[in-house]
Amino acid sequence: MASNAPLTPPDGGSTESTSGAWSGQAPAFSPLYQQIKGLILQSLQQGEWKPGEVIPSEFDLAARYKVSQGTVRKAVDELAAENLLVRRQGRGTFVGTHAEQQAQYRFLRLVPDHGTIDSEGPAQRDFVNCKRQRASADVARLLGLRTGDPVLQARRLLRFNGVPTILEDIWLPGGPFKGLTAERLSQYHGPMYALFESEFGVRMVRADEKIRALAPDASQAALLEVPATTPLLSVERIAYTYNDAPMELRRGLYRTDTHHYRNELS
């Protein structure tokens, strides 16, 4: 639970009588709502409110942190804009979850040339392999591990309308995902990130991607059922949980003969 120590602005310039976000241990130059945002984020990270659960009302949060509702509202607005919280009219504010229909393809940017992801229907998933191994230097660096640390590595093929379209190699740190098996991955019918939330307490909150064009090797071409000379999109994604902790490395090869990569810029 967040601290309720008196909050005193370092410059003495605030006119709002508050307590709860300023510890007095070091200068805090961030705006007050940012400090409240940090406390809410801390509660999310510690699992006080689970994915899909409603959080206390702005009135209750304002009383908890001894700040105005306007300050809480601004903090919640930013967390909602970052998809960490979801506002629902007349129902309250909920912790975001990948289990919701609109969030299931949050990090997937490959869409069909005709129709939408929803009209295309869910992908058919085949796990080619899944094994525990020691992290290579490259994988360890990207996941913030030490070379040789245990990781789970899986290869997954996604088919849309029966056509193999995405081939992914996935690495997960062994510690947070202890007990995850190929059988469990294959049996779970929802999004992988929803499984990570519900059974391992790991929520992916953002991701970074690198994209380039590559030709597949022989085994990749065979799985995707394309000639070895076919240009494919290579997408390397690192997904992070709270506090920018890397929790997944994913390297995918995407066919683009019936799909294209779409991103909205603003």
Q: What is the pLDDT of residues 62-109, one digit of tens each?
A: 999 999 999 999 999 999 888 889 898 888 999 887 765 444 456 677
Instruction: Tell me the β-bridge partners of 92.
Output: 88
- Across the range 158-186, mean pLDDT stands at 92
Which position has the higher pLDDT, 190 or 58?
58
Residues 39/54, Cβ–Cβ less than 8 Å: no
| Residue 159 pLDDT greater than 50, yes or no | yes
pLDDT band at 121 (very low <50, low <70, confident <90, very high): confident
Give pLDDT, residue 47.
82
**What's the rounded Cα separation, in Å, for the pair 242 and 200?**
14
The CA angle 196-201-206, to the nearest 5 degrees, is 65
Domains of the chain by start residue, with CATH: 6-95 (1.10.10.10), 101-261 (3.40.1410.10)
Give pLDDT, residue 74.
94
User: φ and ψ at 81, to 5 degrees?
Assistant: -65, -25
pTM of the shown model: 0.74
Comparing 45-54, 89-98, 111-120, 154-163, the range with the smallest average pLDDT is: 111-120
- Across the range 199-209, mean pLDDT stands at 90
Handedness of CA 200, 105, 171, 138 (dihedral sign): negative
Give pLDDT, residue 123.
82
- Across the range 116-135, mean pLDDT stands at 84
pLDDT band at 21 (very low <50, low <70, confident <90, very high): very low
pLDDT band at 266 (very low <50, low <70, confident <90, very high): low
| Residue 202 pLDDT greater than 80, yes or no | yes
- Across the range 204-214, mean pLDDT stands at 92
| Residue 243 pLDDT greater than 90, yes or no | no
- Across the range 240-253, mean pLDDT stands at 94
